[in-house]
Structure 1
Amino acid sequence: MKHIQFFLTFIAVLILTAGPVDAGTGIPRRVVSLSPIVTETIFLLGAEDLLVADTTYCSTPEAAKKKEKIGTVTQMNIEKILSLRPDLVISGSLSPADQLRTLEHNSIEVFRIQSPKTFSGICDLTLGIGRKLGKEEAARKITARVRQEVEDLQAVIQDLPKPKIFFQLGANPLHAVSQASFMDEYIRFSRAVNIMGNDTSAICSLERVVAENPDLILIALMGTSQKAAEAEKEKWAALKNLKAAKQNRIVVANPEMICSPTPASFVSGLKYLLPLIHPEMENP
């Protein structure tokens, strides 16, 4: 225990004497990301040269895999982080509070963020990280561009019919996209109706889906194999009275295309979903 305390004290002294923050601008020069969302945003802003390490879950873009790894999103290696001498650590919503306090006690600034729940929140997160990293102008340009792209996409589909959708995210228990989330906004921005759009809980019953009788069932199971999603598709297809089953409108979607909330990936996800929701339209 004494050896560990000595090590932490030694590293803290190094951090204090090295002064890695740019004295002229206050912009950090050595950043550690504790969240895939943060890592992807840093690359999106063109600030990847500042990033010295991230987590084992940070795999997008491909270059993120080559960064030094400091643990997972829920358990970081404190000693390794301190040895990297960062002047800023950007946390995620799953980062352990006690470990973040340990970093702060060792004179490391921690910028705490929460996973955004809406498209507007995604843009605000990008602007916040941009300000911290001296990339505010880039962040403003990116968010303005993607907001315009979303508006343009909505204009293309404004006269199309509005199908009812059940968007399944998990099985056992059955749960789906519900109210006030960026996933719900995918549906609304696609000119469709989410049968769970007024629900605060994501848990749903089979009977509820049957009663709502959606035109389309989308399946994007989080953290499971494609095989599991295909098995869920077969279960829905067996319910022959469902409109979605009758019309062969039960679709397995790629969760990696729609579950990574940066402004750019939100637009990519929307473009991916639009032809699935509106097969009558041309690819956006």
Structure 2
Amino acid sequence: MLHRLTAVALLFLVATTTAHAEVCATDDRGKEVCLDSPAERIISLSPGATELLFAAGAGDDVVGVVNYSDYPEAARELPIIGSLKRLDVERILSLSPDLVIVWVTGNPKEQTERLEELDLTLYYLEPRDFEGIASAIERLSTLADTKEVGYREADRFRAGIESLRDEYGDADPVPVFYQVWDQPLMTVNGEHFIHEVIELCGGENIYAELDRLVPRIDRESVLAGNPEAIVAGGMGEQNRDWLQEWKQYGSLTATERGNLFFVPPSTLQRPTPRLLEGGATLCKKLETARERR
């Protein structure tokens, strides 16, 4: 009888320990973040982080987001706790989060430091390349105990990238200017994940060698670079106005050949699995440019 009670006690101890097992993941600052148990009340401080949380299977655990967290549709129904640049700290505290996902370069430092002072657990995220995106999904799913969903989605993303690479890896190069913003005029350098998508499609980023990740440039340098294709997002998913400006420069190869291409910005400017959609669109646009030679 004593042996039986001891066995039952051990089983109870194991079950209790498992239920409250610590979970850990390294964030994009290289810091290991540990929780006493999987996160159940998560706040996202960027639209990209919101998408990654849903991709990781943790959407049901998200209790607050910043504005413009518009994908997937369920994210639109969540409480707003401010914007990327200005957080409502009191609102965040009222939601009692056990995990806050911070965007490394997007959120105000003084406010994120304040959240740390208030003993909230912060996890810094900002993937810079394809593998970083897949890894982010896996790490978030670890913290939320949704690894089955998260790891499956990460594998789907990796496979989709490889499929595009197989299809366009040997395509003739197309010199590309990618416009991130209009005023001031901005682009991306060779360290940015958008550059990686351009290369995936057989494009050549004419600003790859610049030092800043998202450098400011002028129109004269674009004219001097004479890209074969100009690709832009815009202020919205259907807003193509940024491309109108380039139509006045008839000497540009991109303008002369009609290679002024719009790609919905949320599919190409957020490091999330939707890069597969944006990448497929961009690859088709650059294939059109090749056909117009």
On whether the aligned pair clears a TM of 0.5, the verdict is yes
Match of 1:217 among 223, 230, 233: 230
For residue 274 of structure 1, what is the amino acid of its counterpart? C
How many residues get paired? 256
Q: What TM-score, normalized to structure 1? A: 0.80
Q: Tell me the equivalent position of 2:118.
A: 106
Q: Tell me, yes or no, if structure 1 residue 148 matches structure 2 residue 159.
A: yes
Go from structure 1 to structure 2 and tell me whether the alpha carbon gap of 1:240 and 1:86 turns closer, same or farther (over 3 Å shift): closer
Go from structure 1 to structure 2 and tell me whether the alpha carbon gap of 1:145 and 1:106 turns closer, same or farther (over 3 Å shift): same
Q: How far off its partner does 1:230 sit?
A: 4.1
Go from structure 1 to structure 2 and tell me whether the alpha carbon gap of 1:27 and 1:193 turns closer, same or farther (over 3 Å shift): same
Query: 1:210-249 alignment to 2 at 5 Å?
Result: 210-221=223-234, 226=239, 228-232=241-245, 236-249=246-259
Q: Partners in 1 of 2:44 and 2:254 — Cα distance?
A: 42
Q: Tell me the equivalent position of 1:274.
A: 283
Match of 2:270 among 237, 260, 275: 260
Greater shift in the superposed pair: 138-147 or 43-52: 138-147
Q: What TM-score, normalized to structure 2? A: 0.78
Identical amino acids, percent of aligned pairs: 28
Q: Partners in 1 of 2:71 and 2:230 — Cα distance?
A: 28
Q: Tell me the equivalent position of 2:145.
A: 134
Go from structure 1 to structure 2 and tell me whether the alpha carbon gap of 1:102 and 1:241 turns closer, same or farther (over 3 Å shift): closer
Go from structure 1 to structure 2 and tell me whether the alpha carbon gap of 1:83 and 1:141 turns closer, same or farther (over 3 Å shift): same
Alignment RMSD: 2.5
Q: Partners in 1 of 2:142 and 2:276 — Cα distance?
A: 22
Go from structure 1 to structure 2 and tell me whether the alpha carbon gap of 1:75 and 1:206 turns closer, same or farther (over 3 Å shift): closer
For residue 268 of structure 2, what is the amino acid of its counterpart? I
For residue 33 of structure 1, what is the amino acid of its counterpart? S
Structure 2 gap ranges (5+): 1-18, 23-36
Q: Partners in 1 of 2:250 and 2:118 — Cα distance?
A: 62
Matched-pair contact (CA < 8 Å) for 2:168–2:200: no
Go from structure 1 to structure 2 and tell me whether the alpha carbon gap of 1:180 and 1:101 turns closer, same or farther (over 3 Å shift): closer
For residue 20 of structure 2, what is the amino acid of its counterpart? A
Q: Tell me the equivalent position of 1:38.
A: 49
Match of 1:203 among 212, 216, 226: 216
Matched-pair contact (CA < 8 Å) for 1:55–1:72: yes
Q: Tell me the equivalent position of 2:101.
A: 90
Structure 1 gap ranges (5+): 1-21
Q: Tell me, yes or no, if structure 1 residue 51 matches structure 2 residue 62.
A: yes
For residue 72 of structure 2, what is the amino acid of its counterpart? P
